[in-house]
Chain A
Amino acid sequence: NAGVTQTPKFQVLKTGQSMTLQCAQDMNHEYMSWYRQDPGMGLRLIHYSVGAGITDQGEVPNGYNVSRSTTEDFPLRLLSAAPSQTSVYFCASRIDPAQPQHFGDGTRLSIL
């Protein structure tokens, strides 16, 4: 089973560039989330979705967009990359709100 797949695993961008981090899960999970992980701050919720067509903001949504056109996919878009968005990004999914999340392997993003 693939679980939660994130691509790419590493990416370097220049300030002002845009890009999309891909996330796909094959477990038919309704709930999906994006987090960023910065040193000393744990994981912070960027955006989340409770099903296809439904998304909402988390703790740190500024500078990011999401969409959920299918149950399987939940891409995260950086509109105009800034050095403050240098981080490790994790996508996660779960079948039920209270169940443990399945995490992808993360994307390390550096913005110069």
Chain B
Amino acid sequence: AQTVTQSQPEMSVQEAETVTLSCTYDTSESDYYLFWYKQPPSRQMILVIRQEAYKQQNATENRFSVNFQKAAKSFSLKISDSQLGDAAMYFCAYYGDYKLSFGAGTTVTVRA
């Protein structure tokens, strides 16, 4: 089974500031996909961003961007201009061999 590690159980950020969530993974594959999902208190799982391993360019979605370092097997998420609505648990996920493996999650708190 693939291993996805999120080393930060909790992160706190001031509104309008930037926060970076770390994620590392273990794989022997060269072709795979990485995702960040957001889970607010409503329990819904919401896709934030997706990265294809064969693409060197880092994915960006509005205020969310990733720093994908394939050799280091690192996939961090940067949230810029943080908003109160960004408060949630964030999960990093690795897709390969038909299976999606999740990290343990990072709880993000946004201070007004």
Choose from B9, B98, B102 the contact partner of A43 (Cβ within 8 Å).
Answer: B102
B104 within 8 A of A: yes
- Secondary structure type dominating chain B contacts: strand
Which residues does chain B contribute within 8 Å of A106, judged by CB atoms? 43
In the assembled complex, the Cα of A54 lies from the Cα of B7 at a distance in Å of 36
- Rounded to whole Å, the gap between the CB of B70 and the closest CB of chain A is 16
Does B47 have its Cβ within 8 Å of any Cβ on chain A? Answer: yes
Which residue of chain B has the shortest Cβ distance to A42 in the bound complex?
B102
Q: Are B95 and A97 in contact (CB under 8 A)?
A: yes
A98 to B34, CA, bound (A): 9
Contacts of B9 in A (CB 8 A): 40
Taking the nearest CB of chain A, how far is it from the CB of B78, in angstroms?
19
Question: In the bound complex, do residue A90 and residue B45 qualify as a contact, i.e. CB atoms below 8 Å apart?
Answer: yes
- Structural contact, B44 and A103, CB atoms closer than 8 A: yes
Q: Which of B11-55 contact A (CB under 8 A)?
A: 33, 35, 43-45, 47, 50, 52
Chain A positions within 8 Å of B, measured between CB atoms, are 31, 33, 35, 40-45, 48, 50, 56, 58-59, 88, 90, 92, 97-98, 100-101, 103, 105-106
